Amino acid sequence: MDLGLFIASSGMVAEQARQDQLSNDLANASTPGFKPDESPKHSFKQVLLATSSGEAAAGSLESGVGLEGTYTDMAPGAIRQTGQPLDFAIAGEGFFAVQTAGGTRYTRDGQFTTSAQGVLTDANGDPVLDQSGAQVKVGSGGSVGASALGVFALSGAHKQGESLYAGSATGKASGTVQQGALEQSGVDSTQTMVDMISSLRTYQSGQQAIQTIGQTLQQAATQVGSIVPG
Amino acid sequence: MLDGLYSAASGMAAQQRELDAISDDLANESTPGYKSQRVAFGDLLYSELDDAGTTTTTGAGAEARTIGRDGAQGAFIATGKPLDLAIAGAGYFQVKLPNGQTGLTRNGSFGVDAQGTIVDAAGNPLQPPISLPRGVSPEEMAIAPDGTVTAGKRTLGKIELAEVPSPDHLLAAGDGVFEANASSGAIQPAAEALIAQGTLEGSNVDVAEAMANLVTTQRGYQLDSSAIQTESQMASIANQLRP
């Protein structure tokens, strides 16, 4: 069968996955500390084409395209002043640590609150940790000093949802904590919209290629070898 | 296929939630003691797609929820009315709700019912209750910063202010009244709060900030709706393939 059909469809599948990621980025355009995902494309293995006699190689052809894994763009986002005493942002590198039921997780979203026990928690109610791994107490009047929060460097960070990252902490990071501020989402809505349009058109080109190859195959199936009168 | 359609839809729902909170804040811009809401956005679960040795991660969208209220003091508005009370510092007035629970409110717009009992704007009596003796008008009443209520030389009672360890988790019971629960912690006396008589605490809604948030929210909603349209167009393109 014609290899071109499968090459074009692999491109469409890759664009569909890319489009889903772009939708997720746009949905999180207001999520504090959110980092957008990137998925570069790579071509599949080259295949050798043989001549019709089957003896000599006629050259090589890429057999399609796929996504080369997902990378999260960890560049620090802009910091917005909110004036809320329990909003924190990290200027520079690093993560806040929170103690979840599944172990320690990390986040750049510093929109925190207090628990009935008087400790600082994230929006899910998980306690925020200081640099030594202990819970952070909220002082009288509901205030916490920015220096009480731990900032951790993280290796192998990957997203877990609820603004949390899993990974292993490798000590203190260089970033500093700012109080009364939130790090804005790293999603550039203009760039994401442009990526979306570009991805849509690539998808459409794949469909056109399939259409064209389909027509060629149809002609091969119905017209080759027919006897033209006259 | 079409996961993005649903993640964009979840983004629209989250922006809608934020819009509801902003509308609530703006509508209560003139409500005494009203505190503006803090809305937290977060991303949702990620699914991993393994394909030929590479892993592609796709998120399921966003969510938003109110995680508490801005505790900042509202502006003091002098009204000169004897039963208009404002709290300076962290604390709440305690009232007895019809269901028997203790309600907490910072709306200090009090009045006197037919029996002479001091009640809040919704008719809930102060707790512990304070009543004016027959023949004493509210104008003769003096309320000290520590809450002691006197009329002439007679002490009528004391308004006791309360607070909870985690005000963000108080449950709204309507009419600006909140109820304590397990997440907020038990009611305890407010240590540092003082009462100002003849004054109301205005809301702490910052209209300019709310309007700026309104614009951001509307744009976020539009972006998500464009994402839905693009996803729909892709489905339509796939649909045009004919054998």
For residue A48, name the pLDDT band (cuts at 50, 70, 90). low
Q: Which helix (H) or strand (E) is A98 found in, with range? A: strand A96-100
A80-115: pLDDT as tens digits: 999 888 999 999 999 999 999 999 999 999 999 999
Which B positions 114-173 lie with beta carbon below 8 A of chain A?
A: 164-169
> How many CB atoms are closer than 10 A to CB B243?
4
pLDDT at A47: 66
Is A66 close to B54, i.e. CB distance below 8 A? yes
- pTM higher than 0.90: no
Q: B131 to chain A nearest CA, in Å?
A: 32
- B37 interfacial to chain A (CB closer than 8 Å): no
Is A67 close to B57, i.e. CB distance below 8 A? no
Which of chain A's residues have a Cβ under 8 Å away from the Cβ of B165? 114-118
Instruction: Write down the mean pLDDT value for chain A.
Output: 87
Which of chain A's residues have a Cβ under 8 Å away from the Cβ of B212? none
For B101: left if phi > 0, alpha if psi spans -120 to 50, otherwise beta; the answer is beta
What single-letter DSSP state applies at residue A75?
Answer: -
A170-181: pLDDT as tens digits: 988 999 999 999
For residue B3, name the pLDDT band (cuts at 50, 70, 90). confident
Q: Tokens at residue A209, please? A: 């290629």
For residue A52, name the pLDDT band (cuts at 50, 70, 90). low
Burial (CB count <10 Å: 0-12, 13-18, 19+), residue B3:
buried
The mean per-residue pLDDT over the stretch B144-158 comes to 90
For residue B39, name the pLDDT band (cuts at 50, 70, 90). very high
Is B8 close to A23, i.e. CB distance below 8 A? yes
Question: Would the pLDDT of A222 be above 60?
Answer: yes
Burial (CB count <10 Å: 0-12, 13-18, 19+), residue B100:
exposed
Is B217 close to A30, i.e. CB distance below 8 A? yes
pLDDT at B237: 92
For residue A197, name the pLDDT band (cuts at 50, 70, 90). very high
Which of chain B's residues have a Cβ under 8 Å away from the Cβ of A113? 38, 67-68, 166, 168-169
Question: Would the pLDDT of B1 be above 70?
Answer: no
Q: A203 to chain B nearest CA, in Å?
A: 7
Question: Would the pLDDT of A2 be above 80?
Answer: no
Q: How many CB pairs under 8 A join A and B?
A: 200
Is A21 close to B55, i.e. CB distance below 8 A? no
Question: Would the pLDDT of B241 be above 90?
Answer: no
Is B54 close to A68, i.e. CB distance below 8 A? yes
pLDDT at B105: 95
pLDDT at B107: 93
Q: CA-CA distance, B205 to B73, in Å (whole number)? A: 10
Mean pLDDT lowest among A42-56, B84-98, B148-162: A42-56
Q: A53 to chain B nearest CA, in Å?
A: 31
Helices (H), chain B: 3-27, 207-239
